[in-house]
Homo-oligomer: A and B are copies of this chain.
Amino acid sequence: MNIGIDVGGMSIKAGIVDNSGNILAKYSVPTPRDGNESFSAAVKKAIDEVLKIHPVEKISSIGIGAPGIVDRENGVLVYSTNIGYKNVPIREFLGKEYGCEVYVENDANSAALGEFYASGDKKNFAFITLGTGVGGGVILNGKLYTGSNGVGCELGHIVTHARGTKCGCGRSGCWEAYASVTALMRFTEEARESLNIGDEKISGKTVFDEARKGNAAAIEVRDRWIEEVAIGITNIVNIFQPEEIVIGGAISKEGDTLLLPIREYVDANEYCAKHNDIKITKINLPRAGDSAGILGAAYIGRNIKE
């Protein structure tokens, strides 16, 4: 039995996961933001509470997916802009407490692992989250690929618009600067007048909702943004030729409205566009969804070892 911990800006979720990928119990606590000790204590609290709900004879491993920079080798949560801890030796702490192996991974990679294991028997797989930025993780030959320095597969930072809009990473024209929900909201704001939405507060859903009412300007903004997403997804097909790409993030709840035009664009534009016999990549929505973080975290150790 493995325990997966999904560390978010708002809450720390712990889950007990069996070897078939079933989450048997979950418990969540608010994320403290006042340093290492209260953070570690909160993680322990989440684990203890979930073990009360579902007592476990032997914990095989605990995995933690956390934002920011992690040190996989030493099991340390190095740094997160949002949460305010620094160099938390979580492997040492939890190892002593629970007498088991402890693994750490970046949260986006952890969620990618969760969707990977929920996807069935795949070898090469990519998970993309559309949110404040464009994140994700890639599994190649069944293993999470993180490059030679642990920060590989920053797919949001593939430039799709050379010399384009400035990105948070410092570069210009990154995919993230055009395909994130932040970018969608920027496009929406720029079109506010023609959208005829007055002073309405803009969210990622605005143009989707307006488009459903038949607002032509909204349809245009929505479709343009979806094409930006699809351009990057097509790049990922041409790079990895994975069996599947799963598109997640809250906006993926738009379902077929988002998914179908992406599939159509990729089908027409990927490198194998004219060779149906070798086309391989399926594009789908998340299966694990909100549980991907817990599930993937519980599987970090398994992915390293198997």
Residue numbers of A with Cβ under 8 A of B are: 123-124, 140-141, 143, 145-155, 157-162, 169-171, 178, 228, 231, 234-235, 238-243, 269, 271-274, 278-281
Q: A104: shortest Cβ distance to chain B, in Å?
A: 16
Residues of B within 8 A of A162 (CB): 160-161, 178, 228, 231
- Copy tally for this chain in the complex stands at 2
Contact among B124, B148, B155 with A280 in the assembled complex (CB-CB below 8 Å)? B148
Known: A157-B238, A269-B170, A274-B170. A123 touches B148 (CB 8 A): yes
A13, B271: Cα distance in complex, Å? 29
6 pairs from A and B in contact (CB 8 Å cutoff): A123-B148, A147-B241, A151-B271, A151-B278, A159-B160, A160-B162
Contacting residue for A271 out of B140, B157, B240, B281, CB 8 A:
B157
Q: How far is the CB of A260 from chain B (nearest CB, A)?
A: 20
Q: Would you call B269 and A171 a contact (CB within 8 A)?
A: yes
Q: Report B-chain residues with C-beta under 8 Å of the C-beta of A169.
A: 271, 273
Q: Please measure, in the bound complex, the distance between the C-alpha atom of A154 and the C-alpha atom of B274, giving whole angstroms.
A: 15
Minimum C-beta distance from A230 to chain B (A): 10
Given A140-B145, A151-B241, A241-B148, answer yes or no on A158-B235 (Cβ-Cβ < 8 Å). yes
CB distance from A205 to the nearest CB of B (A): 24
Given contacts A178-B162, A231-B159, contact A240 B147 (CB under 8 A): yes
Cα A182 to Cα B76 in complex, Å, equals 48
For the complex, give the distance between the alpha carbons of A228 and B163 in Å.
Answer: 10
A273: nearest chain-B partner, CB-CB: B170
- Chain B residues lying within 8 Å of A157, measured Cβ to Cβ, are 238, 271
